Structure 1
């Protein structure tokens, strides 16, 4: 039985993200992603302003009047959410944790997909595959996606991005749009990304909290690595230590982004305590321009 407070949270996320998909992301999602192809629908008489490249010369020659071909996009796509549920997703120094942010983000993408008659699949992973939900459409399915994003209790604690991508390759026979949502606190996943993007449209979404880049000056502080359980006592009043912490975090972020750059991938960056709609809109707009 799901606790009442979780059901209330699911309902709040449903209302907020459904509104976001309908009003803020409407049209942009559809324009950003191509269907599987186009198929011939009919011919009609040529009108001034029509693309002359669409003229059907056979019909035109037979009738003596110019006709153009009309095509219909085969729209239905599969959107796969590959979501990191490792222990580090519980971090949140603002009004929400990374996991709560991911739940809202995933729900918005799922609602945008079903509004366009696409199907949505969900894979939750840590250092193992925690749960996999096959692609379906409809609002009830999105509610299940939200529930799992919020309520699934993972067994693992670490992060294995490669395993999630390998699972995608093995289970998705057709090309899909795969949103890879993680804080990418992992290593050696470049080859797996390279293989996955040959078959799928893989879009990294990097989730972070500002505290991961800046250590507060609060004196002695016991830090715990949520994924390994390692504990260490640090003196945060030490300016050199804070500088070292920030430099190390920045170096890790740059190394991650270099992987994306080498593979020609455009990551979306979202942060706890900040609206994620703007980064999504910007990404959809850039994709539309490239089309």
Structure 2
């Protein structure tokens, strides 16, 4: 029996995500993510304005009048949500943690997929694969995804993007649309990402909290890394100390951005407490314009 508070939380996210999808994203999703190709459907008589390149000359010759071929898009597509649930995702300096933001994002993407008759799967990772659900259709499957994202307690603590990408390579032989959702607090994964982007449509989603790069002046503070457990005492009253911390974090973000740019991967950037929808719609509109 699932506890009542769990059901309420899942239902809340379902309602919020469904409204977002219906109001803003469902049309954009279809336009941004094309199907695998075009499949022949039928022929019909030629009408003024039809593209003459679509004329079926064999049928035209038999019928004695022009007919054209009609095609339909092979729409069904598989989407994989590759989601970082390492301990750093539990951080949040506003009304939500990174993991809460990630759950709402994943739910929104999953409902967008099934509204367009696409399949959606989930792989959650830390420094190991925590849980993996193969791509399927249907709202019941999406509710399972939401539940796992909300309540899976990770065994691992750190982030290993390389391991997650290698798991993707082993389990997804056919081409997928892959949303790689993480704060990217890892290194050494560029080669694995380079390999996977040749096989799959990889979309990095960078999730951050503003306090990860800015220290408030609060006196002597003991900072503990959620992933390594290391504790460092920092004098936050020192402007020089705060400036060094800010510069170090900005440099890390810059190196991640440069790496994604080298691989020609355009990220979606989200921040806790901020608007999730505007970055998504902006990305889908840009992608549609490039199609």
TM-score, normalisation: structure 1: 0.97
Matches within 5 A, 1:125-140: 125-140=125-140
Q: Is the 8 A contact 2:96 2:273 kept in 1?
A: yes
Query: Secondary structure of 1:204's partner?
Result: strand
| Structure 1 residue aligned with 2:226 | 226
Query: Secondary structure of 1:25's partner?
Result: helix
CA deviations on 1:50-77 (whole Å, 9 max, x unpaired) are 2332222333344343322111111111
CA deviations on 1:7-32 (whole Å, 9 max, x unpaired) are 21111000000111111102110111
Between the aligned partners of 1:138 and 1:286, the Cα distance in structure 2 is 28
Query: Secondary structure of 2:41's partner?
Result: strand
| Structure 1 residue aligned with 2:24 | 24
Query: Secondary structure of 1:218's partner?
Result: coil
Aligned structure 1 segments of 4 or more residues deviating by more than 6 angstroms: none
Please tell me whether residue 175 in structure 1 is matched to residue 175 in structure 2: yes
More displaced stretch, 44-53 vs 119-128: 44-53
| Structure 2 residue aligned with 1:246 | 246
Q: Is the 8 A contact 2:26 2:116 kept in 1?
A: no
More displaced stretch, 59-68 vs 270-279: 59-68
**Aligned-residue offset at 1:213:** 1.6
Please tell me whether residue 80 in structure 1 is matched to residue 77 in structure 2: no
| Structure 1 residue aligned with 2:149 | 149
| Structure 2 residue aligned with 1:185 | 185
CA deviations on 1:57-110 (whole Å, 9 max, x unpaired) are 333344343322111111111110000000000011111000000000000000
Q: Give unmatched runs, 5+ long, in structure 1.
A: none
Cα RMSD (Å) of the superposition? 1.2
More displaced stretch, 48-57 vs 145-154: 48-57
Between the aligned partners of 2:183 and 2:94, the Cα distance in structure 1 is 16
Between the aligned partners of 1:249 and 1:17, the Cα distance in structure 2 is 32
Q: Give unmatched runs, 5+ long, in structure 2.
A: none
**Aligned-residue offset at 1:2:** 4.3
CA deviations on 1:139-165 (whole Å, 9 max, x unpaired) are 110000000010001000000001101
